[in-house]
Amino acid sequence: MERSPLSDAARRRVLAATHQAMRRAERHWRLRLPEVAVHFDLSGGRAGTYQVRTGVRLLRFNPWLFSRHLERCLAEVVPHEVAHLVVDCRWGRGVRPHGPEWQAVMASLGAPARTTHDLPLEGVPVRRERRVPYRCACRIHQLSARRHHWAQRRGARYRCRECGALLEWLR
């Protein structure tokens, strides 16, 4: 098993920043946030994510990005994911992920309300997703393996933004 690039001291700083952001949000929004598991197992180009798995709330962070850009991640990524937790607990699942509620929480945490990071990915292991060719009336498209799965197994249908035609799988 590959050793994490994030030091124990850096992990402690991330955990402290996470708890500090949660306490600040609790005071501002007058709510009690549940305990949340924090994992350092995210890979690829994503810096962080908030998930609920079988009722368990989970914050996941990318140890590669945090090890290279710790200060920015503490200032931007940690509040971003804590804001998702706050929105989920305060407003539930019926709101847009980066909608006005999330933006208000970000403002209360004193963090920029950006939806994506612009951290350099040099030296960060990034998984490349397989692409699958699809055709429309005007050209060939390359759908991600995930979208291909949705189209083939779950009945999703995709249209070309240019010509409006349904995409067909090139087998």
- Residue 61 to residue 125: CA distance in whole angstroms: 14
- Residue written as token pair 């920015």: 72
Residue 48 sits at φ, ψ, to 5 deg, of -160, 165
Nearest to 80 by CA among 39, 51, 42, 116: 116
Beta strands in 109-154 (DSSP E): 131-135, 140-144
Instruction: Determine the 3-state secondary structure of 162 from DSSP.
Output: coil
- Which residues does the annotation mark as catalytic? 81
